[in-house]
Structure 1
Amino acid sequence: MIRLASYLSLCFYSLFMLSACGSQGDTAFDVSREADTTWLVKILKEKYSEYRDTRYFLKWFDLNGDGESEAIVYIIGPVICGSGGCNTLVFDKSSGEYKQIAELTVTQPPILASEDLVNGWSVLVSQSYGGGAVAGYSEYTFRGKAYPNNASQIIGVMPRGTILIPEISFFKEGVALFKN
């Protein structure tokens, strides 16, 4: 009976110590993500420097199962979007730094990562209507090194997946890229 009590005490103590370690790991992750976001905002400011009313929506999500989250950025503003939608950018971290692997044109939220994989990457899906497009959902499939700028195909029903950028009502819901 004493051995059982000692064993249970040891198990409880071990779980307690492990839970403390987990919270330290989360803090380190948050600091790293903050640095990544700061870097990303710098890149976006360079790219959209002429468009002071630009806003963005950002989601970190692992699209290829490598344990490293990619940055999915929906860019919106009164000058940079057309009647069919706005651009969505995807950045992948490889070799320690991020590089842009997609600039999906004419996308509209919701934007999701489908449960389907092509070449080991999630199929990206955005709502599609306006600008002469047939209403439905645009699919973007990974092509080895990048996603194509234009949809791979239009489908009629939203597939199952994880919503990365939810539907929005007004562009000012996004984070201001520049402080006017």
Structure 2
Amino acid sequence: MKKIIFSLATLGLVLVACKKEASPASDAVKTDSAVVSSDSLADPDTTDTIAAANYTAAATNTQTAEKVRKFLQTEFKKDVDSKALQDNDKKFIQFEFDINDDGKKEIFVGLNGPYFCGTGGCTQYILNEDGTKLANFTVSDYPVVIDNTKTNGYKDLFIMSGGKYRIVKFDGKTYPSNPSTLPELKVVPGDGLPRALNYLNEPYPWFKF
């Protein structure tokens, strides 16, 4: 009788041990589902092979893209209606960054295609957080480097134009629209400075308007 009781007790310990060993497996299932959930994020650009989670974080917000889209559709309504813009012209990239430290992120917008780009560069915009225009630039290449110093409350920018980085300062209302006429930056901007619209070196989704 004692042997039977001992055997039952031993069997009980084995069952308890098995249950304890099974719990990590259930944790693994939760972890896997979390991974799947993050991988199943809506892809803002299905025309490439980049997974949604691998894009540059400041470039992917679809709500921000909708603000940009509405602005561009209004800004270029005549060109869209007249079909002056081809499909390749109606693409943009974006980058959110707070350039005046007010807690709201401004939106850098880069355009593409032969309508907006030439040998000197492309057309770019900076929008306020609400989607209204703060500044626009012509003949500007990518990326836009954001300096730590400020002028009139907004960070200075280094914009490539004509093969040279130009120093672009806020004048109290906006930034000058033609960087090619501005003073040249005599050194290469530091690697530690943020680079907006850096799609040539980082994964960016392209949106359409």
Compare 40-49 and 115-124 and name the one that shifted more.
40-49
Residue 177 (1) aligns with residue 208 (2): yes
The C-alpha deviation readout for 1:98-148, integer Å capped at 9, x for no partner, is 32111111110121111221111111112233xxxxx32012110101111
SS in 2 for 1:109: coil
Matched, 1:149 2:177: yes
Letter in 2 for 1:104: F
In structure 2, runs of 5+ residues without a counterpart are 1-60
Q: Is the 8 A contact 1:60 1:70 kept in 2?
A: yes
Unpaired segments ≥5 residues, structure 1: 1-32, 130-134
Structure 1 segment 37-76 matched on structure 2, within 5 A? 37-48=65-76, 49=80, 50-52=84-86, 53-54=88-89, 55-76=91-112
Counterpart among 185, 196, 203 of residue 164 in structure 1: 196
Q: Which one-letter code corresponds to 1:64 in the other structure?
A: N
TM-superposed deviation, 1:157:
2.0
The amino acid that maps onto 1:164 is A
Q: Does 1:122 align with 2:155?
A: yes
Paired residues, what number?
136
Kept in 2, the 8 Å contact 1:62–1:69? The answer is yes
TM-score (norm 2): 0.58
Select the structure that is richer in strand.
Answer: 1
- 1:90 equivalent to 2:126? Answer yes
Structure 1 length as normaliser, TM-score? 0.67
96, 101, 109: which one pairs with 2:142?
A: 109
Rg (Cα) greater in structure? 2
The structure with the greater share of residues assigned to helix is 2
